[in-house]
Chains A and B, each alone.
Chain A
Amino acid sequence: MIENANQQAEPLLNIRGLSVEYLVGDTRLRAVDRVSFTINKGETVGLAGESGCGKSTLAFALAKLHKPPALIAEGEVLYKGQDVLAFNDEELRRFRWKETSVVFQSAMNCLNPVISINEQVCDVLSAHNPTMNRNELQDRAGELLKIVGIHPDRLNQYPHQFSGGMRQRAVLAISLALKPQLIIMDEPTTALDVVVEREIMDQLSELKEQFGFSILLISHDLSLMGEITDRIAVMYAGKLVEIAPTEDVLFKPQHPYTKGLINSFPHLFGEKKELTGIPGNPLSLYSPPAGCYFEERCSERIHRCKSVDPKLVTLHTGHKVKCHLFSQS
């Protein structure tokens, strides 16, 4: 399931040196800073990091969904070799949803409150498949809801009649509607309870096996990622600080930030210990330091960290880390 699953490792989405900036007054805040990584066909990549580290901004940019004041400062997003960022409106319309769908963080709030769930699902289907008739649409909508564990009887209800979890599931159903090749999921199950989360994740894995799509899973829940991703990328303050196969990240994390993140969440089993999270506050991008962005909160800093920004170095196959502790050797 890990690594080997992508025998040829054919890249589906290739992100090269992508930077996204927000224009705030006269300042340009660099929310995503020269991030590069690849998502291969059929691969699930996890993108982890704290609030404000640029995960969601990156997700928006990948589907060219960003709007001013956000702008792409540099870089490319190659989908099957084509630069998504250069797409025109019509190309984008075809690309979005059919090729890549995005499930956003507050997905449960993005349903229209005055339109029934049925209509919202059918709307997507009919927009991209104008030939489907009323009955086909209905059947497919019911099927989709079933996939995510909602009884099709509730198709004609309105979002307010759904619980938060069900709304999130409905949105997930809509994202799966056109069988895209890449699904970008921004915290898809954060607000859901564990059994449903597990069901959706199992369902996703099943669908993935069936249709072979790739997933970019953006989350802060490393244990969830641990179960379904092939590789995990960790971001801090807009920079990619570590990327490695999932097991390496979880059991042999190298970057002090990744270590902190892993030690931040309570476990269900094993010894019960007091956890501190990561001391300090996330970096303010208004005045980025010259050196490593994590220096201030880092417990393993050395004097070089303050002045020199470390480079992303490859430790061994597939394990890259951006930290001075490794750049010397």
Chain B
Amino acid sequence: MSSRSKSVFSVKNLVKDFPTTGGIRALNDVSFELFAGEALAIVGESGSGKSTIARVLSLLHAKSSGDVLYKDTEISGFSGSEIKHYRQQVQMIFQDPYGSLNPVHTIFHHLARPLKIHKKVNNKKELTEKVHALLEQVGLVPAAETAKKHPFELSGGQRQRVCIAKTLAIGADVVLADEPTSALDVSIRLGILNLMEQMKKERDVAFMYITHDLATARYFAERTAVMYVGHMVEWGVTEDIIQAPKHPYTQLLISAVPDPLKRKEKEAKPLNQKNKDIPIWTSYSKGCPFVGRCAEVMDKCSQSMPAITKISEKHFVRCFLYGNS
């Protein structure tokens, strides 16, 4: 699977500090790869740094250290025109489809703009045809009618489809999807996921699927990385992570997922965590970030971040409970 696919992104030991009071380390030692035609789900709570990864990758934030290689080229050294080209290839879909479209412009304007800026069309007629074709591709029919509408006339799911059409417009080969479905309805959500699945299969688009919904991660993403306070604590093939979670945090996450079947077991078990205070990570912090909440904490956990333990060929965890140490 992944071994045969082409790696499009290679992120190594990425660190991102925000120079706020006290200095926040939003990402610490994050490494992963994205492959063409495959989705990597980044799962974690609010504030775990999921969105920061997407922002660093899309050059909205400059990284503090580490390597971010897009097709073997470091992205931080890009010149103006290289950035423009890069942004064609790497597109983002945001969580809030209500906020990511300009309310005073028509849908046509939203789709025409990237086409014009990146000179994908030669004349007006071609532009109209292309916009309509895009709308049809994402299931917004009749296209001519939709194109005339303003964002407020569309539902959340339809707006998200417009955002996806924007990424299709300029032929992105990497899509950083930041919670693309969390604001949408269930049946609509599946429509969006299936649409992205189609892009993945037919156009070989690489997806970074940022989510807190493990069930959709299981449905859509081949691999999953679990983030906690800027650290990757567990990663590997999605099915392994969900069926046999190793890190106490992953176990906590999975036990928190609502499941109607739990109702049958009478009382659902309380969450296995000590307290719910999420630490603020700085460049001076040390140890495992999960120490405060971990039910299986040991002395050494607050001393240093555990090394990577390989559970199986495609399943890794950073926790002292595993490995030979």
Enumerate chain A interface residues (CB-CB to B < 8 A): 50-52, 106, 149, 151, 163-166, 190-199, 201-202, 220-224, 226-227, 246-247, 250-251, 260-261, 264-269, 272, 275-278
Q: Given A222-B186, A266-B219, A277-B191, 7 more contacts at CB 8 Å?
A: A192-B212, A196-B46, A197-B256, A202-B271, A220-B185, A226-B258, A247-B263
A223 touches B259 (CB 8 A): yes
Complex interface: chain A residues within 8 A of B194 (CB): 276-277
Complex interface: chain A residues within 8 A of B261 (CB): 269
Smallest CB-CB separation from B188: which chain A residue?
A51
Q: Among B183, B187, B216, B239, which residue has its beta carbon within 8 angstroms of that of A260?
A: B187
B44 touches A193 (CB 8 A): yes
Provide the bound-state CA to CA distance between A103 and B288, in Å. Answer: 36
B258 touches A195 (CB 8 A): no
What would 26 A/B residue contacts be, using CB atoms closer than 8 Å? A50-B185, A50-B186, A50-B187, A51-B156, A52-B155, A164-B95, A165-B46, A192-B212, A193-B44, A193-B45, A194-B214, A195-B252, A195-B256, A199-B271, A220-B185, A220-B187, A223-B260, A227-B262, A247-B263, A261-B186, A266-B215, A266-B218, A267-B215, A269-B242, A275-B190, A277-B194
Chain A: minimal CB distance from B170 (Å): 27
Complex interface: chain B residues within 8 A of A194 (CB): 212-214, 253, 256-258
Let me know if B109 is at the binding interface, CB within 8 A: no
Size class of the contact patch on chain B: 35 or more
Chain A: minimal CB distance from B84 (Å): 30
Q: What 1/0 flags go to B257-280 for Cβ under 8 Å of A? A: 111111100001011000011000
Provide the bound-state CA to CA distance between A227 and B188, in Å. Answer: 22
A51-B258 contact in complex given A268-B242, A272-B218, A277-B190, C-beta closer than 8 Å: no
B260 touches A51 (CB 8 A): no
Q: Among B186, B219, B256, B259, which residue has its beta carbon within 8 angstroms of that of A220?
A: B186
Q: Among A164, A165, A197, A264, which residue has its beta carbon within 8 angstroms of that of B258?
A: A197
Provide the bound-state CA to CA distance between A149 and B46, in Å. Answer: 13
Let me know if B115 is at the binding interface, CB within 8 A: no
Complex interface: chain B residues within 8 A of A149 (CB): 276
Provide the bound-state CA to CA distance between A261 and B185, in Å. Answer: 10
Q: Among B212, B215, B243, which residue has its beta carbon within 8 angstroms of that of A265?
A: B215
B219 touches A198 (CB 8 A): no
Provide the bound-state CA to CA distance between A226 and B260, in Å. Answer: 5
Complex interface: chain B residues within 8 A of A198 (CB): 256-258, 271
The 3 residue pairs across chains A and B that have the minimum distance between CB atoms: A226-B260, A193-B212, A266-B219
Provide the bound-state CA to CA distance between A106 and B96, in Å. Answer: 10
Total cross-chain contacts (CB, 8 A) = 133
Complex interface: chain B residues within 8 A of A250 (CB): 260, 263
A222 touches B260 (CB 8 A): yes
A268-B254 contact in complex given A51-B155, A192-B46, C-beta closer than 8 Å: yes
Smallest CB-CB separation from A201: which chain B residue?
B258
A268-B259 contact in complex given A51-B157, A193-B45, A220-B185, C-beta closer than 8 Å: yes
Complex interface: chain A residues within 8 A of B100 (CB): none
Complex interface: chain A residues within 8 A of B156 (CB): 51
Let me know if B189 is at the binding interface, CB within 8 A: yes
Let me know if B103 is at the binding interface, CB within 8 A: no
Let me know if B23 is at the binding interface, CB within 8 A: no
Provide the bound-state CA to CA distance between A46 and B98, in Å. Answer: 25
Provide the bound-state CA to CA distance between A191 and B239, in Å. Answer: 24
Chain A: minimal CB distance from B165 (Å): 17
Provide the bound-state CA to CA distance between A191 and B45, in Å. Answer: 11
A227-B263 contact in complex given A52-B155, A195-B45, A277-B187, C-beta closer than 8 Å: yes
Complex interface: chain A residues within 8 A of B277 (CB): 151
Provide the bound-state CA to CA distance between A224 and B216, in Å. Answer: 15
